[in-house]
Amino acid sequence: MRRMDGWGSGLLGVIIFSGSLPATRVAVGGFTPLFLTSARAVIAALIGAALLLALRQERPERTDLAPLATVALGVVVGFPLLTALALLHITSARSIVFIGLLPLATAGFGVVRGGERPKPAFWLFAVGGAALVAGYALANGDSASVTGDLLMVGAVLVCGLGYAEGARLSRRLGGWQVISWALVVALPAMAVLAVATSPEIWTGIGGPAWLGLAYVSVFSMLVGFVFWYRGLALGGIAGVGQLQLLQPFFGLALAGLLLGEPVAWTMIAVTGLVVLCVAGAKRFA
């Protein structure tokens, strides 16, 4: 029951995260990547700090500060900034496909940092899903941006580390507490950066950009992590982490429906095969 609860919580987190890249794509139409990254962190940190104070949560131990800093560098700063920069070069539909590499990165860091040991068959499905994603990217290289693709690979690596480190801490501190404390750790630097990179003129920023900022600040940066870290902690980092192979499926649908971006049939086919890899990975996690 505990493991199934973890998978359910993780799936809800993935659904919330699925809107992150389309929302970021919209937001960078009105804000620079540096301001978007810092502003979303500041907004989420203020909400997280208010929750920590209101619910009278104990402060983390001194030994938790380095892991919390790692979480902050991975998911508060690294992933949002690198994806925002990537979306200046590629569409959100293409960037979503790279999220298929994230479960493999998370599982790898889960072994290194979380001490997990999945069965050998698990790695066959995990590597298979990642290979499908990488193969798709290479096969469509003519219409791609090398810069955008490399930025997405970097984003996946730092995010996988942040996920694994946060899940390890969540077993003791709790899921929403981990992301809230990580946001608080990053708040001073992000606040300075937000002020330094704020737009000179605010009147020309459209409503969609504001909505995109609101979504990534509240849902992508805070609410999604509440469910995601809880799922990883209860169901296992390597196993539940494979649920993110489903994120391209949800994200591609959002990119096509909300942004009107072209979604090739090959993207859908790759996503369908990736779903099969998720089922296999869950079986042997």
Q: Are 16 and 224 in contact (CB under 8 A)?
A: yes
Checking if the pLDDT of 39 tops 90, the result is yes
What is the model's pLDDT at position 2? 66
Least confident among 35-39, 61-65, 74-78, 237-241: 237-241
CA distances from 127 to 10, 124, 132, 245 (A): 20, 5, 9, 11
Q: Are 263 and 278 in contact (CB under 8 A)?
A: no
Least confident among 21-30, 149-158, 259-268: 259-268
> Residues 155-179, buried b or exposed e (16+ Cβ, 10 A)?
bbbbbbbbbbbbbbbbeebbbbbbb
Rounded Cα distance, 181 and 34, in Å: 22
Domain chopping of the chain, boundaries: 2-284
Rounded Cα distance, 79 and 84, in Å: 8
Checking if the pLDDT of 285 tops 60, the result is no
Instruction: At 34, give phi and psi (nearest 5°).
Output: -65, -45
- Give the ranges where the chain is alpha helix by DSSP (H): 2-17, 20-27, 33-54, 65-71, 79-86, 92-98, 102-114, 120-139, 146-173, 175-196, 207-215, 224-235, 237-241, 247-259, 265-284
Checking if the pLDDT of 1 tops 70, the result is no
What is the model's pLDDT at position 90? 84
What is the model's pLDDT at position 257? 74
Cα 7–chain centre separation? 17
What is the model's pLDDT at position 168? 86
Closest C-alpha to 257, from 19, 6, 16, 9: 19
What is the model's pLDDT at position 140? 63
Rounded Cα distance, 154 and 134, in Å: 14
pLDDT in tens, 144-200: 678 888 899 899 999 999 988 988 888 888 888 999 999 999 999 999 999 999 998
Paired tokens of 140: 């469509």
pLDDT band at residue 264 using 50, 70 and 90 as cut-offs: confident
Checking if the pLDDT of 141 tops 70, the result is no
Which DSSP state fits 200? S
What is the model's pLDDT at position 269? 81
Global pTM value:
0.82
What is the model's pLDDT at position 189? 94
Amino acid type, 128: G
Cα 61–chain centre separation? 26
Checking if the pLDDT of 218 tops 90, the result is yes
